[in-house]
């Protein structure tokens, strides 16, 4: 891995590398990486920069996820159903589409039982910055248009699901 630019192939051959343990792990292990990384980034760069960096990482991940695991030739309804199925299949979260404005290509979605925050203590702030970027990457890759994604409800703000407003930029 001589390059720092992410490529899907950097995930490696998980089956060959983990013949006994396979590709699954516990949510606590994912969160250990997520929250220690957040802590180090915030200490080094401040909260605002940490959040932006996590969004950027999520954006890259969502784009690669879409390119490698989703069929972008599908019409919108079928594509969203595929996103729902993949997130469920990979135990990332339970996606529900609450609102669709096809004229403006704006959406409201929820993600329940997500990897990042479901079950966290209430802290008063949204914490799913990576997820904002991940969702943005999926939508931008699917549509070829720029988007802004903002988490408006989060488990850590006292809600029981994360809610994201997704707006296509002009």
pLDDT digits (tens, 9 = 90+) for 75-133: 999 999 999 999 999 999 999 999 999 999 999 999 999 999 999 999 989 999 999 99
21 class by beta-carbon count within 10 Å (0-12 exposed, 13-18 middle, 19+ buried): exposed
Domains (range + CATH), the chain: 13-168 (3.30.1380.20)
- Mean pLDDT score, 58-77: 97
Q: By percentage, how much of the chain surpasses pLDDT 70?
A: 98
For residues 75 and 61, the answer to whether their CB atoms sit within 8 Å is: no
Q: By percentage, how much of the chain surpasses pLDDT 90?
A: 95
CA atoms within 13 A on the CB side of 68: 11
Question: What pTM does this model have?
Answer: 0.95
CB count, 10 Å around CB of 117?
A: 23
pLDDT digits (tens, 9 = 90+) for 51-64: 999 999 999 999 99
Confidence class for position 2, pLDDT limits 50, 70, 90: low
């Amino acid at each position: 891995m001589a390059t720092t630019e992410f490529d899907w192939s950097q995930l490696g051959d998980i089956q060959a590398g983990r013949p006994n343990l396979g590709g699954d792990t516990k949510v606590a292990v994912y969160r250990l990486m997520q929250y220690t990384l957040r802590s180090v980034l915030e200490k080094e760069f401040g909260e605002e920069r940490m959040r932006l960096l996590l969004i950027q990482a999520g954006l890259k991940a969502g784009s690669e996820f879409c390119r490698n695991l989703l069929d972008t030739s599908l019409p919108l309804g079928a594509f969203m159903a595929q996103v729902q199925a993949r997130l469920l299949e990979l135990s990332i979260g339970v996606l529900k589409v609450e609102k669709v404005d096809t004229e403006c290509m704006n959406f409201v979605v929820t993600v329940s039982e997500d990897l990042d925050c479901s079950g966290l203590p209430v802290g008063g702030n949204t914490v799913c910055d990576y997820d904002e970027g991940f969702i943005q990457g999926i939508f931008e890759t699917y549509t070829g248009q720029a988007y802004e994604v903002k988490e408006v409800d989060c488990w850590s703000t006292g809600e029981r699901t994360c809610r994201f407003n997704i707006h296509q930029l002009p």
